Amino acid sequence: MTATLPDPGLLALGADGVMTGATSGYEKRLGDMAGVYRDDDAYRRTLAERGAGAVVYRVEEHRNVGGEGALIIGTSTLYPGRYGDEFAVTRGHLHAKADRAELYYCLAGTGVMLLETLGGRSEALPLHPGEAVHVPGHWVHRSVNVGDTPFVTMFCYGADAGQDYELIRRAGGMATLVVADANGSWRARANPDHSGYPRA
């Protein structure tokens, strides 16, 4: 018996994050971000002003097959915002299969890819259009929008990778916060609430 092969996917990726050829997508709303920001008072003030239904980021993706060896390709559009001095972020994750890598390529906007290992290393890598970050396996990662316009990236990772979104919450947030500095730019600052990630 011959296995049915998936059809190739022809995709068009817009600088606005719209992906022609997407098979699915989702939105994260302000109400979904409880516990993500260290400045909970600032988050709650924004929640009261904008409402729980305000979209803070959206994802479009193409999945034409699952399992080992297959890829998920998509776009992430993270809208600008500030919560106290913290810039808008995605929830962030470590892959459930922790050795799975991921590629992020900036299509528009200005952002930072915040990366951390379970052993205590931390990197905050700036991203501008035309630049990419290759996130190796075993790195926790999240996107941060440090600009005034949507931060749009294309991502690609193994379809069997999965995501562990709870790891960051259990650790009291990521070890590093990306915050506004006195010059109108950004800086990385230690998160005093971070309790450490469990070792694999």
Helix (H, G, I), strand (E, B) or coil at 44: helix
Cα(20)–Cα(136) distance, rounded to whole angstroms? 28
Per-residue pLDDT band at 9 (split at 50, 70, 90): confident
pLDDT mean over 27-36: 97
CATH class of 13-190: mainly beta
Q: Tell me what the pLDDT averaged over the chain comes to.
A: 95
Report the run of H or E that residue 128 belongs to, with start and end.
Answer: none
Nearest residue to 22 via CA among 79, 67, 73, 71: 73
pLDDT mean over 98-124: 97
pLDDT mean over 131-139: 98
Cα(30)–Cα(56) distance, rounded to whole angstroms? 6
Nearest residue to 91 via CA among 46, 130, 33, 39: 33
- The fraction of the chain above a pLDDT of 70, given in percent, is 98
- The fraction of the chain above a pLDDT of 90, given in percent, is 90
Per-residue pLDDT band at 8 (split at 50, 70, 90): confident
Cα(17)–Cα(13) distance, rounded to whole angstroms? 7
Per-residue pLDDT band at 126 (split at 50, 70, 90): very high
pLDDT mean over 189-194: 96
Assessment of whether the complete model's pTM goes beyond 0.85: yes
Q: What is the pLDDT of residues 146-155, one digit of tens each?
A: 999 999 999 9
What type of residue sits at position 181?
Answer: D
> What pLDDT sits at residue 174?
97
Cα(89)–Cα(115) distance, rounded to whole angstroms? 13
Q: How far apart are the first and last CA of the chain?
A: 41
Confidence check: pLDDT of 57 > 90: yes
Cα(140)–Cα(77) distance, rounded to whole angstroms? 19
Confidence check: pLDDT of 200 > 70: no
Confidence check: pLDDT of 49 > 90: yes
Least confidently predicted of 74-88, 116-130, 186-200 = 186-200
